[in-house]
Chain A
Amino acid sequence: METGRSSCKTRIEDHPILDFPARKEVTFTWEGQELRGYEGEPIAAALHAAGIKVLHTSHKSKRPRGFFCAIGNCSSCLVVVDGVPNVRACTEKLREGMRVERQVGTGPAPRARE
């Protein structure tokens, strides 16, 4: 699979100090495109591994925004997950079947949930 290959380059396989244990692979979508990542890793890590860095655009001039602090401080990486805006991609865990979209500015108003 195309995206599977590109994610291999950015994933660290051998590290002199750290071991990254095998994790369960899941499928999710980014802007409608199917991607694979590891269950429970932050959405931003899975996207970064797939080479996707622009996650959000600024409110006013719509400049590209991405990952910055990685610990939920800065709101630079806000995305829309399953229709819900303002989800921090750097802390939200990846799940099977997640529908993730780039958030433009403030994003869509959240739809009422049943």
Chain B
Amino acid sequence: MSVRTTELVIIGAGPAGICAALEAASHGVKTTLVDRGEELGGQLIKQTHKFFGWHKKSAGTRGVLIAKKLAGEVLNNENITLLNSTEALGYYDDGTLLVETPRGIDRVLGDRLIVATGASERMLLFPGNDLPGVYGAGAVQTLMNVHGVRPGDSVLMIGSGNIGLIVSYQLLQAGVRVAAVVEAMPTIGGYAVHASKIRRLGVPIMTRHTIKEAYGKEQVEGAVIWELDENWNGIPGTEKDLEVDVVCLAIGLTPLAELLWQCGAEMAYIPELGGFVPLYDETMETTRKGVFVAGDVAGIEEASTAMAAGRMAGLSAARSLGKVSDLDYSRLRNEIAGELEGLRSGPASAKILSGIAKMRAMLQSVKEAAAVSEAEPANRPAKQAASEPTDAGDLPKAGARDSEAQGNNGSKSEEAVGA
């Protein structure tokens, strides 16, 4: 096991993580960027559609091209060390991030951490939801847009948000039939421009409808949909049997926040942000000092806001390391804040904004409670026990492992290279 020390560790090389890395590196911060995939860009590598974005940033550009451009900038940046094909396994109280590289397990010790791990797809409960052929919308995109394999012949799309609509269009582009898009809500969730595109191509979008079951012996051979009443119950007699071999779930995402739980950051369940999210301030810092967040892990939005939020996190980390002058900091911070505000100015952002407001109110009360317990010495022992679970005995041990591992570092990596 070798130990890598760095000023800033960023987990996740999607749009948020990459923009955080580029921003921090531009201020001279030695940055280590960790990503489980081989290719840089996170989910952008399968987005063939053009982004609306903000007028200055990437609007009208296809996601795949944004990913290529960002990846090029990372690879040419001497302040960024890239650890790709590397999985973050866990975060320890002494600040160790344990990672699994293709050569083995390493420790990464950073002065600051940015978690930009993104999100995972939600699951829906229905009979047959575990059959092969029931795929997440992201999986369908990966299979056809990255690997060039059609997911099946005929697809039932569940969910009419932008992902459901865009992936339906991409399926049609790949020569796959889309039998229907069903939407439990009374109205279509995504933009009208995406909905019209697939409707013109003959795909019915059925609101107030959902899947009743998927069936098949070993894999999906068909699916039954039905209409919902005002209480979200299926209406008997409205069932329709669709001959499909793929059921695609596009019912939203939920933050991949396990590492933040491990960090001991305060978390809260905020449905508007997609589930459990960390509490974080305007600089993207969580309640765990030195740990920042950006992108979907901080609340489900889209790639353009993830890029801006990533820059904000990178700037804040650089600032807290003393790398940014007051003048530059306030200029850049205002610039990025303005960009985020612009991106969130549409009617579709109302939900996100109310989620962020809710989260900030919770953060405020957590901070106030911390201030009170600090002012009252009687509360101190309890607070310390809760927020600093590392007892003193753990630290020297971690330090000992540290030096031992460092001592072995040279020979180990040579061995690995030789083998």
Interface positions of A (Cβ within 8 A of B): 9-12, 15-18, 20, 41-42, 44-45, 48-49, 53-55, 58, 63-74, 90
- In the complex, the answer to whether B174 meets A54 with C-beta atoms within 8 Å is no
- In the complex, the answer to whether A69 meets B136 with C-beta atoms within 8 Å is yes
B81 within 8 A of A: no
- Determine the distance from Cα of A70 to Cα of B148 in the docked complex, in whole angstroms: 13
**A30 nearest CB across to chain B (Å):** 14
- In the complex, the answer to whether B173 meets A68 with C-beta atoms within 8 Å is no
- In the complex, the answer to whether B142 meets A63 with C-beta atoms within 8 Å is no
Q: Chain A's interface: helix, strand, loop or mixed, by majority?
A: loop
Given A17-B62, A63-B130, A69-B121, 8 more A-B residue pairs with CB atoms under 8 Å apart are A11-B149, A12-B174, A44-B143, A64-B131, A66-B131, A67-B135, A70-B135, A71-B36
- In the complex, the answer to whether A12 meets B130 with C-beta atoms within 8 Å is no
- Determine the distance from Cα of A68 to Cα of B137 in the docked complex, in whole angstroms: 9
- In the complex, the answer to whether A15 meets B173 with C-beta atoms within 8 Å is yes
- Determine the distance from Cα of A83 to Cα of B149 in the docked complex, in whole angstroms: 27
Query: Which residues from chain A contact B148 at a C-beta distance below 8 Å?
Result: 11-12, 15, 18, 20
- In the complex, the answer to whether B121 meets A53 with C-beta atoms within 8 Å is no
- In the complex, the answer to whether B132 meets A67 with C-beta atoms within 8 Å is yes
B138 within 8 A of A: yes
Interface positions of B (Cβ within 8 A of A): 36-37, 48, 62, 64, 120-121, 130-136, 138-139, 142-145, 147-151, 173-175, 218-219, 256
- Determine the distance from Cα of A67 to Cα of B175 in the docked complex, in whole angstroms: 21
Do A53 and B149 contact each other (CB < 8 Å), given the known contacts A12-B175, A48-B143, A64-B218?
Answer: no
- In the complex, the answer to whether A53 meets B138 with C-beta atoms within 8 Å is no
- Determine the distance from Cα of A58 to Cα of B37 in the docked complex, in whole angstroms: 26
- In the complex, the answer to whether A69 meets B139 with C-beta atoms within 8 Å is yes
Q: Which 6 A-B pairs have the closest CB atoms?
A: A66-B132, A70-B139, A20-B148, A70-B142, A45-B147, A53-B132
- In the complex, the answer to whether A68 meets B219 with C-beta atoms within 8 Å is no
- In the complex, the answer to whether A54 meets B144 with C-beta atoms within 8 Å is no
Query: Which residues from chain A contact B134 at a C-beta distance below 8 Å?
Result: 68
Question: Which residue of A is nearest B121, CB measured?
Answer: A69
Question: Which residue of B is nearest A55, CB measured?
Answer: B132
Q: What are 12 pairs between A and B in contact, CB < 8 Å?
A: A11-B150, A17-B173, A20-B148, A41-B147, A45-B149, A53-B219, A54-B218, A68-B134, A68-B139, A69-B139, A71-B142, A72-B36
Question: Which residue of B is nearest A9, CB measured?
Answer: B150
- In the complex, the answer to whether B174 meets A15 with C-beta atoms within 8 Å is yes
Question: Which residue of A is nearest B144, CB measured?
Answer: A12
- Determine the distance from Cα of A33 to Cα of B36 in the docked complex, in whole angstroms: 31
- Determine the distance from Cα of A18 to Cα of B138 in the docked complex, in whole angstroms: 17
- Determine the distance from Cα of A41 to Cα of B144 in the docked complex, in whole angstroms: 12
Query: Which residues from chain A contact B143 at a C-beta distance below 8 Å?
Result: 44-45, 48, 67, 70
- Determine the distance from Cα of A55 to Cα of B139 in the docked complex, in whole angstroms: 15
Query: Which residues from chain A contact B121 at a C-beta distance below 8 Å?
Result: 69
- Best-surrounded residue of B62, B132, B135 (most CB of chain A within 10 A): B132
Query: Which residues from chain A contact B136 at a C-beta distance below 8 Å?
Result: 68-70
- Determine the distance from Cα of A66 to Cα of B219 in the docked complex, in whole angstroms: 9
- Determine the distance from Cα of A45 to Cα of B143 in the docked complex, in whole angstroms: 7
